[in-house]
């Protein structure tokens, strides 16, 4: 391999280091265990209901928690806040076209704004939307538009112990069988997520994306990408898929998107901003419909719920996000935490994903039934131990079957330790690992929870619990 990769990052045998230095800091503090016990009780044992002031290391989510660069902060002073036709929109549109390759761009305030519009323009009641595992807001919008979600992720995705490179792949046989069973005319699009959050941040291979597109196109079905973490997916392709080791992440991203017909995007993840998103499409007629609907839900089609300054920061964030040295350090930090836990024999989803380390709560608390919410309880116990805030990704997040009213019982019952981009240091990862290992040591005496308040939509955000 050459001394320098195409955009100047060191060769892979060197350890990574962050390609930036810190210019501004925000103080955080660790509270006492007694104070944390009160805080989590008042929050109904739901980490979403904690006040951020009471949190020491916040690994709730990588959504909107990014640290912006000096260039992005400078962009905040370059906002063209005209109601219509802001120059920042045209810059953003060009940047998305250049890096993701789609023809038309509709800005939205965040990812779910784009999901809402996509569902409304594509889905009719009675439709079926296949996807490589569900995502909470994505499926909610599909269902609100009258569709039923059908999971077509490879079976291996449901097994947290299998060490495979592309556990986010679509099961092509399952997809073919579904098309044969319900008919292509009832499938408006395939919802392809890269990487797959609910499977533990697992990537989709380029070959799989190509095959899905080929199969879908043969049946006249569109493929819509959830591009929220597609840059991280592109990095895994570079690292793991033959033929891609010498390509840049930017090149891989372009090729990956070329096998899809459009995307929804939460800019709060890959794109290194605190708010923003977009819907991108190649079909002009669909774009017309979307740019009309966005006026109703988000704002005019040249701002879509974002300030001009936010669009400018996102345009610059996209360019920074595809740089090989950035993404290598970002995923490298996640792997660093994951490896520490693996060395301590803590059960985590393997392989380590792109944005988070997922604790396997079923293996962590084997004495708890899934209806005693082991992952929800584990997230609460971790907070009590150290003030590290994580998130449940299991039976609470999965919600209820809209027909039977029963809890979905997902195979994966996980706690997600999500790493914000460019925010924490390795020392924060060390403290986090130490706390997880401590809680693991006390696992046999841990008790489950009971649900005492359950909101109707996306219950995990606002549900409340009490200890059993
Ligand atoms: C966060 C996320 C979304 C929704 O985006 P928001 O910006 O939070 O509305 C959709 N899909 C995936 C995979 C996500 O992680």
Encode pLDDT of 295-335 as tens digits: 999 999 999 999 999 999 999 999 999 999 999 999 999 99
Mean residue pLDDT of the chain comes to 95
Assigned token pair, 215: 């199969």
Supply the pTM of this predicted model: 0.94
Residue 274 has pLDDT above 60, yes or no: yes
What are the Cα distances from residue 357, in Å, to 35, 102, 116, 360, 425?
26, 31, 29, 10, 16
Q: Which atom of ligand 1 is nearest to the CA of 267?
A: 7
pLDDT tens, position by position, 444-468: 999 999 999 999 889 999 999 999 9
Distance of CA 305 from the midpoint of ligand 1 (Å)? 16
How does 147-178 read in b/e, with b if 16+ C-beta sit within 10 Å?
Answer: bbbbbbbbebbeebeeeeebbbbbbeebbeeb
β 277-281/104-108 pair status: antiparallel
Residue 50: how many other CB atoms lie within 10 Å:
22
414 pLDDT higher than 90: yes
Judged against a pLDDT cut of 90, whether residue 119 lies above it is answered with yes
Using CA atoms, how far apart are residues 90 and 93, in angstroms rounded to an integer? Answer: 5
Give the Cα-Cα-Cα angle 416, 44, 358 (nearest 5 degrees): 5
Distance 211 CA to ligand 1 centre (A): 25
* Residue 152: predicted pLDDT: 98
Question: Which atom of ligand 1 lies nearest, measured to the CA of 277?
Answer: 7
Active-site residue identified among 33, 83, 161, 425: 83
> Residue 384's closest CA among 30, 28, 26?
30
pLDDT tens for each residue of 78-96: 999 999 999 999 999 999 9
Whole-number Å distance between alpha carbons of 47 and 8: 40
Q: Is the pLDDT of residue 9 over 70?
A: no
Decide if pLDDT at 1 tops 50: no
**Which pLDDT score, from 0 to 100, does residue 208 have?**
98
Token duo for residue 106: 């509709």
Ligand 1 cavity residues, CB under 6 Å: 63, 110-112, 135, 137-138, 193, 197, 226, 228, 266, 268-269, 277
pLDDT of residue 396: 94
Q: Is residue 362 among the annotated active site residues?
A: no
Catalytic annotation on 269?
A: yes
Ligand 1: atom nearest CA of 197 is 13
Three-class secondary structure of residue 306 per DSSP: coil
Pocket test for ligand 1, best of 48, 62, 63, 460 (most atoms within 8 A of CB): 63
Give the confidence band of 402 by pLDDT, cuts at 50, 70, 90.
Answer: confident
50 and 38 Cβ atoms separated by less than 8 Å: no
Residue 10's pLDDT band (boundaries 50, 70, 90)?
Answer: low
Dihedral over Cα of 283, 285, 287, 293: its sign? negative
**What average pLDDT does this structure show over 201-206?**
97
Structural domains for the chain: 17-55+324-467 (3.90.1150.10), 70-321 (3.40.640.10)
In this predicted structure, what is the pLDDT of residue 401?
86
pLDDT-derived band of residue 4, with 50, 70 and 90 as boundaries? very low
DSSP string for residues in 265-302: EETTSTT--SS-EEEEES-HHHHHHHHHHHHHHT--TT
- Give tens-digit pLDDT for 59-85: 999 999 999 999 999 999 999 999 999
Task: Quote the pLDDT of residue 15.
Answer: 84
Nearest alpha carbon to residue 189 among 245, 140, 132? 132
Query: Is 136 marked active-site?
Result: yes
């Amino acid at each position: 391999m050459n001394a320098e990769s195409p955009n100047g990052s060191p060769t892979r045998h060197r350890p990574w280091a962050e390609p930036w230095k810190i210019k501004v800091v925000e103080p955080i503090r660790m509270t006492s265990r007694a104070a944390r016990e009160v805080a989590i009780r008042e929050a109904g044992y739901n980490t979403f209901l904690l006040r951020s002031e009471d949190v020491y290391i916040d690994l709730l989510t990588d959504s909107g928690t990014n640290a912006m660069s000096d260039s992005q902060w400078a962009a905040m002073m370059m906002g063209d806040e005209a109601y219509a036709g802001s120059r920042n929109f045209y810059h953003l549109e060009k940047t998305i076209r250049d890096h993701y390759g789609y023809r038309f761009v509709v800005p939205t305030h965040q990812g779910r704004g784009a999901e809402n519009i996509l569902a409304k323009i594509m889905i009719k009641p009675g439709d079926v939307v296949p996807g490589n595992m569900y995502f909470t807001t994505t499926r909610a919008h599909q269902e609100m538009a009258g569709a039923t979600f059908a999971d077509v992720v490879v079976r291996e995705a449901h097994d947290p112990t299998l060490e495979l490179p592309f556990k986010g792949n679509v099961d092509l046989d399952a997809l073919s069988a579904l098309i044969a069973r319900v008919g292509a005319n009832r499938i408006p699009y395939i919802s392809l997520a890269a990487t797959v959050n609910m499977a533990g941040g697992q990537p989709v291979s380029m070959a799989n994306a190509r095959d899905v597109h080929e199969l879908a196109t043969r049946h006249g079905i569109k493929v819509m990408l959830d591009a929220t973490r597609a840059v991280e997916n592109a990095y895994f392709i570079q690292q793991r898929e033959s033929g891609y080791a010498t390509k840049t992440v930017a090149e891989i991203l372009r090729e990956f998107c070329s096998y899809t017909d459009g995307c929804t995007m939460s800019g709060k993840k890959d794109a290194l901003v605190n708010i923003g998103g977009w819907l991108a499409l190649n079909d002009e007629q669909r774009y017309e419909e979307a740019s009309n609907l966005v006026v109703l839900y988000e704002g005019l089609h040249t701002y879509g719920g974002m300030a001009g300054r936010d669009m400018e920061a996102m345009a610059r964030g996209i360019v920074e996000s595809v740089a090989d040295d950035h993404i290598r350090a970002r995923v490298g930090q996640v792997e660093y935490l994951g490896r520490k836990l693996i060395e301590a024999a803590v059960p985590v989803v393997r392989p380590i994903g792109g944005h988070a380390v997922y604790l396997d709560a079923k293996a962590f608390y084997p004495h708890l039934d899934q209806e005693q919410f082991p992952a929800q309880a584990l997230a609460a116990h971790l907070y009590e131990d150290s003030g590290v805030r994580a998130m449940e990704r299991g039976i609470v997040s999965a919600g209820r079957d809209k027909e039977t009213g029963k809890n979905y019982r997902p195979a994966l019952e996980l706690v997600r330790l999500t790493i914000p981009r460019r925010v924490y240091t390795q020392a924060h990862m060390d403290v986090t690992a130490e706390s997880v290992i401590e809680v693991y040591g006390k696992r046999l005496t841990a008790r489950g929870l009971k649900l005492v308040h359950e909101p109707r939509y996306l219950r995990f955000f606002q549900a409340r619990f009490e200890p059993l």
